[in-house]
Structure 1
Amino acid sequence: MAKPKIAIIIGSTRDVRFGDKPAQWIYDTASKRDDMDFEIVDLRDFPLPFFNEKASNAWVPTENEVGQRWQKKVAEFDGYIFVIAEYNRSITAALKNALDYSYPEWNRKPAAAVGYGSVGGARAVEHFRTIAVELQMVPTRPGVHIQGADFFAVWQQGKALSELTHLEPGVKTMLDDLSWWATALKTAREKA
């Protein structure tokens, strides 16, 4: 069986977003492993209009060309790490819209989260997990939360996330759990 392929999805499209930094940090850390392959997927590369299809693509094919391209990209992967900014106690509108544009492509695949923002993006990550369940993903329990002091150390003081070594155990735990679920679910999907 081929190694699971994991997308690291940057969930913000703002011009001044922070999400590039944790996405690259997670990619650099995760790519040292030999049990999964990783790719950064940027929502900016998929300028999805607000969802205005006749129905979910679970029931009716998507007509929008960018939506179709997004669905093909999502389908390439065996699991996901979502880099989640917290906006007003939830995920970004861009991420919610991207989640809504696909359905069968997400099914029976694991979803891990790296949150940042107020209280480490914990409220947004929790909200994301309920959405992931509805999309038939398996949200992992371990996640990574970039708290306020860490966020400002990187954003304003020029530190690299790799310098914040106290975050490393959480990253390892998240990746170990993601690997288990990605392998188990990939095996089950291939047998089905």
Structure 2
Amino acid sequence: MTRIGIIIGSTRPRRIGPQVAGWVHEVAARRSDAAFELVDLAEFRLPLFDQEVPPAMGGTGGPGAQAWVRTVDALDGFVFVTPEYNTQLPGALKNAIDFVHAGWADKAAGIVSYGVVGGTGSAAQLRQLCGPLGLADVPAQVSLHLATDFQDFTVFTPGESGARSLDALLDRLVAWTTALEPVRSSRAAVVS
């Protein structure tokens, strides 16, 4: 079965990303066309990217980085749950992306962003990264606003419109992930 990781893109203390990712997982778990799993960047404890040999040239990093690379490699698609810091992509998420090279290729990704203006700046930067990594970013997106989708800016309270947007994102993500399966399979056959 197709495996899609829901990546929590923040590692900050008292972050609200796990609430949003939990909602995404709860909605996604009702589907029968893919298996969804939560992937928390904080659990990998990645250092600041400082590898002498980059992943594109075979660099692997320490144990946390190796576990992260194996996790990404094993997944067929992704939902990035990303906050926005100063209208930018969180450093922890960008850092984690840099530890992986081939594991992103020929897979699809959806974006669920949140922040003062819905995390749109972060989502835009993430989309810029997708093409060079070989990730097909689906056009459907969920943008959650701190003022309207969170109580006191800290407790996530999803509304109907967010749920509809998430369903559209998941529909497209599963379709694209499935469509890219022959490409991933042929690449894996060449590597083997």
With normalisation by structure 1, the TM-score equals: 0.92
Q: Percent identity?
A: 34
For 1:5-49, what per-residue CA distance to the aligned partner results, in whole angstroms no more than 9, with x for missing partners? 000000001111110111000000011011010000001110011
Q: 2:103 aligns with which of 102, 105, 109?
A: 105
1:90 & 1:189 partners in 2: Cα distance?
31
Question: Is the Cα–Cα contact under 8 Å of residues 16 and 156 in structure 2 kept in the other structure?
Answer: no
Q: How many angstroms does 1:56 deviate by? A: 2.1
1:129 matched to 2:106? The reply is no
Q: Which runs of 4+ in 1 moved over 3 A?
A: none
Q: 1:83 aligns with which of 81, 84, 93?
A: 81
- Matched letter for residue 47 of structure 2: P
Give the total of aligned pairs.
Answer: 187
Gaps of 5+ in 1: none
Q: How many angstroms does 1:118 deviate by? A: 2.1
Q: How many angstroms does 1:189 deviate by? A: 1.6
Question: Is the Cα–Cα contact under 8 Å of residues 25 and 36 in structure 2 kept in the other structure?
Answer: yes
SS across alignment from 2:33: coil
Question: Is the Cα–Cα contact under 8 Å of residues 149 and 157 in structure 2 kept in the other structure?
Answer: no
Question: Is the Cα–Cα contact under 8 Å of residues 108 and 136 in structure 1 kept in the other structure?
Answer: yes
Q: Which moved more, 1:129-138 or 1:53-62?
A: 53-62
Alignment-derived partner of residue 46 in structure 2 = 48
Alignment-derived partner of residue 157 in structure 2 = 160
Q: How many angstroms does 1:4 deviate by? A: 1.1
1:35 & 1:154 partners in 2: Cα distance?
36
C-alpha change, 1:170 and 1:96, in structure 2 (3 Å) is: same
Alignment-derived partner of residue 9 in structure 1 = 7
Question: Is the Cα–Cα contact under 8 Å of residues 146 and 153 in structure 2 kept in the other structure?
Answer: no
What CA RMSD, in Å, does the superposition of the two structures yield over aligned residues? 1.5
Q: How many angstroms does 1:159 deviate by? A: 6.0
Alignment-derived partner of residue 183 in structure 1 = 178
2:152 & 2:28 partners in 1: Cα distance?
20
Q: 1:144 aligns with which of 142, 145, 155?
A: 142
Greater strand proportion: 2
Gaps of 5+ in 2: 188-192
